[in-house]
A and B are shown apart, each in its own frame.
Chain A
Amino acid sequence: MMNRKTTEILLIGGSAGSISVLLEVLPHLNDHLSFPIMVVVHRKAHPESILEGLLGFRSRLPVEEAYDKMTLKANYIYLVPADYHLLFENKQMVSLDCSEKVNYSRPSIDVTFQSAAQIYMKHTVALLLSGANTDGLEGLRYIAQQQGTVLVQDPDTAEIAYMPQQALLNLQVDTVLKPEEMASFINQLSTNY
């Protein structure tokens, strides 16, 4: 039904309680996805290098920290570095920005989600995970306005339900997913089988 539009980017946003979900989902992803994955997580306590290694170890797809003016490749997982916002210049290239925090956060999920929606429009798919604040909500709303696809973690399965709950209360969400359903959902978004 919703798969008439091809996915050109998958965004995953999360805050407190989201890393464990990523660790559960990544091992089950296909390693020939037809789009890149951009992960924005708030993580004061995790220096990026540790997180990159942690997720990379669990994933069959290469995991890299995004860098300025980097060219995006399908079937790669990118992490937004700590202390920078990540923006999309066009469908192939990102840039970093150290401007003011948004929702007390840098990186901010809203900022990256909004920027993606401006570039990929309805071909944007975003998944919001566990968290204790509302960063991501406005970004999801924006993606929905561009006819992109809005996914949230089932609040009942979230370590901290507030973030996905707020999305469900305030927006038209396309699909609610439990962690164990996420990988197969993402795999079927890919046009490569």
Chain B
Amino acid sequence: MIELDIVKNDDMEMLLKDISHLYGYDFTQYSKASLKRRLNRICMLDKFASFAELRYRLIHDGAYLSRFIEEITVNVTEMFRDPHFYATLRHHILPILGTYPFIRIWVAGCSTGEEAYSLAILLKETNLFEKTLIYATDINPSVLEKASKSIFPLNQMKQYSRNYILSGGEKDFSSYYVSMYDVAKFHSGLSSKMIFSTHNLVSDSSFNEFQLILCRNVLIYFDKDLQNKVFKLFDDSLQPFGFLALGAKETLRFSNIEQRYKQWNEDRIWKKIS
């Protein structure tokens, strides 16, 4: 089903300004078309008969904000999403990072953590796990809460296992978790090198220097100006010769930092060269 369209563009602008003023979450530079769908969706889910009702609730009930952030963001993710990308990490990028004494990786917009766990598995298999820290951040605290639990739906495992094998994994994928009822509980060792924290790419600043930053399928939700602002943040957070990895349909081309980065073959990975 597609949602009804009860949200007008002007109403949306007004609401976003309210939220920014009242709560400090600035969504005004998000892609409008997607945001509009999410707003229509939340009106349907929470049974607001009109957009005005949603606005009233948001303005007068501070506790509703977290629900709003949860539903307005798109948290869809997978383990080993785009297997070819993980194959490149495994065979080309991680061996380069392995020459450093200590590796710091930032997964920005990590959602429920599937990407971070995929990385942890790769690091285990390339024997780099012990000297690595994975910083996994998101704007939405509730996905981070889930991510830290190492528990994922069991019915996804068939697909994740397929992705894992396509990405060059040679083990039995099920050796990384135990099945309990309808969930897969991943071994706690995997999350021992992960640090989960909220971080808003729109308003928070650089907090460390990394050799690898993954920010996949987050920038599609931002308009071009905001994309450039976030690229600047990543540029400030990357060590010289560090790598920036984007989603399958995202690019550094046409961005303000393009000239100082070199793309890794056809992959969505860029190396900082100056």
Chain A interface residues (CB < 8 Å from chain B): 67-69, 81, 83-84, 87-89, 95-100, 102-103, 110-111, 114-115, 118, 138-139, 142
Contact = CB atoms under 8 A, between A and B. Distances in A.
A88 B247 CA distance: 20
Interface of B: 1-2, 5, 31-34, 36-38, 74, 76, 217, 219-221, 223-224, 227, 247-251
B31 A95 contact: yes
8 contacts: A67-B251, A89-B31, A95-B33, A97-B33, A99-B34, A102-B1, A115-B33, A118-B36
A84 B34 CA distance: 12
**Chain B at the A interface: mostly helix, strand, loop or mixed?**
loop
Contact of A89 (B2, B33, B248, B249): B33
A142 B2 contact: yes
A81 B250 CA distance: 12
B5 A95 contact: no
Contacts of A67: 249, 251
Given A69-B224, A98-B76, A88 B2 contact: no
B34 A111 contact: no
Given A68-B250, A139-B2, A100 B76 contact: yes
A178 B221 CA distance: 39
**Chain A at the B interface: mostly helix, strand, loop or mixed?**
mixed
Given A96-B249, A99-B74, 20 more contacts: A67-B249, A68-B250, A69-B224, A81-B249, A84-B220, A84-B249, A87-B33, A89-B223, A95-B34, A97-B31, A97-B33, A97-B221, A98-B217, A98-B247, A99-B37, A102-B1, A103-B1, A111-B37, A118-B5, A138-B2
A68 B249 contact: yes
Contacts of A84: 220, 249
B257 to A, nearest CB: 16
Contacts of B224: 69
A25 B251 CA distance: 32
A110 B2 contact: yes
A111 B36 CA distance: 12
A62 B37 CA distance: 31
A138 B76 contact: no
A98 B33 contact: no
Contacts of A89: 31-33, 223
Contacts of A114: 2, 5
B220 A97 contact: yes
A163 to B, nearest CB: 16
Contacts of A110: 2
A68 B220 contact: yes
A87 B250 contact: no
Most buried by B among A67, A69, A88, A103: A69
B129 to A, nearest CB: 28
B34 A87 contact: yes
A98 B220 contact: yes
B42 to A, nearest CB: 13
A39 B5 CA distance: 23
CB-CB nearest 6 A-B residue pairs: A87-B33, A99-B74, A95-B31, A97-B34, A68-B220, A110-B2
B2 A87 contact: no
Contacts of B251: 67-68
Contacts of A99: 34, 37-38, 74, 76
Nearest to B254: A69
Contacts of A115: 33, 37
Contact of B2 (A69, A83, A97, A102): A102
Contacts of B220: 68, 84, 95-98
B218 to A, nearest CB: 10
A47 B126 CA distance: 29
Contacts of A142: 2
Contacts of B221: 97
